[in-house]
Amino acid sequence: MKNILFVDNDPIMLHTFVGLLKSQGGLLRIHSAGNIQAALETLAEKEVHLLITGMHVSEMDAFELLSLLDAKYPQTRMIVITNNASYMLRNKIKQMSSVIHFDQPMDIGLLTKRIFTELQIDYGGQVRGISSASFLQMLELEGRSCTLQVNSKGKVGTIYMTDGKPVAAKMGLLTGIPAAQHILTWQNVLIDIDYAPKKVTREITTSLMNLLLESGRMLDEKQSRRPNLRKHSRYDCLVGVDYDISDWTYQCFLRDISEGGAYIETEQSVRVGQRLIMSLSSPVLVRSCAINGTVVRRDPGGIGIRFEALTLQQKQVIRSLLESRCRPIAPPLRKH
């Protein structure tokens, strides 16, 4: 993943712009800084591939960042967003080949395309609702070369494909065949595609079919060892919902649900043990309800919630949602 640093003195613009950039794909890791000092600290701590200044950064601060990047971080690209920039700033920018100038507000799509271009990412979009195994088989049939970043509830892994064949993989400290096998056991995945050619050392020599067979065996073993402590069947889904904590409302996405609880994707700093109220609606019943719950699990991708005792109306809304918008998740296999 490439590190992007967005700098703006306006907290509302900072929060909005960072959120918009995050929505453009999972291949970008977005960092933010509310002033020049915070930006300098981030530059000193992390490898920043691209720095973007917002319209509320003064020209003096923009000059400072331009000079710093030119002297200390020549490999870092920079996009300067201005509103009627002065002749002096325009002239400074034209003298630096690593700086791109956007004057006046622009649409986020154009900015994102330029970001991907500067970072040499040939973004192929995101894929949901299909397993990693099925998607790799499609790539094999077409003989495609690409890099796949696979996400599943806070876990991230990468698979490199050349001419339709998996040649390398990485997941945490694992590489090669073990990494690929573990990634292929994940369910309910989100896949980001980069078609830009990559030079990688071949780590995988076995066929895709052998990888799929072994990962299937690993998944069966893992599920058979895991006790099923859930009283209710889980259902996979992608539904936009919101939840309230301490009079604040946050938007999120429901990823799975049962009558006992749910897992939602959220980037808010919610703690385990914290109570919240989730708003849920049924498109069939044309009815909504508020459900009280407690956070029982937290990972980088979201939170797991255990519902409090449900009323009949709440159960009706959940069941209607399960029937209309969700798919059942297979229970763990049991050995006899």
Q: According to the 3-state scheme, what is the secondary structure of 132-153?
A: HHHHHHHHHHHCCCEEEEEEEC
Nearest to 53 by CA among 82, 95, 12: 82
Residues found in the chain: 336
CATH value at residue 39 = 3.40.50.2300
**In this structure, which amino acid lies at residue 258?**
S
What integer pLDDT is reported at residue 204 of this predicted model?
Answer: 94
Would you say residue 18 lies in a domain?
Answer: yes
What integer pLDDT is reported at residue 106 of this predicted model?
Answer: 66
Domain end among 187, 207, 225: 225
Q: Are residues 114 and 9 in the same domain?
A: yes
pLDDT band for position 168 (cuts 50, 70, 90): very high
pLDDT tens for residues 80-95? 988 888 888 888 888 8
CATH value at residue 267 = 2.40.10.220
Q: Are residues 130 and 94 in the same domain?
A: no
Q: What is the mean pLDDT of the chain?
A: 86
Would you say residue 175 lies in a domain?
Answer: yes
pLDDT tens for residues 215-243? 988 888 876 665 555 567 788 888 888 89
Count of helices and strands (H, E) across the chain: 9, 18
pLDDT tens for residues 3-18? 999 999 999 888 888 8
In contact, 176 and 201? CB cutoff 8 Å? no
Q: Are residues 294 and 323 in the same domain?
A: yes
- Residue 144, pLDDT above cutoff 90: yes
Domain end among 225, 249, 283: 225
Q: Are residues 128 and 107 in the same domain?
A: no
Q: Are residues 242 and 287 in the same domain?
A: yes
Q: Tell me the chain's radius of gyration from C-alpha atoms.
A: 23
Would you say residue 150 lies in a domain?
Answer: yes
Cα torsion angle, 249, 250, 252, 257, sign = negative
Q: Are residues 260 and 216 in the same domain?
A: no
Q: Are residues 114 and 127 in the same domain?
A: no
Q: Are residues 142 and 68 in the same domain?
A: no
Domain end among 77, 96, 118: 118
Q: Are residues 205 and 243 in the same domain?
A: no
- Tally of domains within the chain: 3
Highest mean pLDDT among 46-50, 315-319, 330-334: 46-50
Q: Are residues 112 and 128 in the same domain?
A: no
Determine how β-strand 77-82 pairs with β-strand 50-53. parallel
Q: Are residues 13 and 62 in the same domain?
A: yes
- Residue 334, pLDDT above cutoff 80: no
- Residue 288, pLDDT above cutoff 90: no
What integer pLDDT is reported at residue 325 of this predicted model?
Answer: 73
Full domain range(s) for residue 18: 2-118
pLDDT band for position 210 (cuts 50, 70, 90): very high
pLDDT tens for residues 44-80? 999 999 999 988 888 888 888 888 888 888 889 999 9
Q: Are residues 108 and 200 in the same domain?
A: no
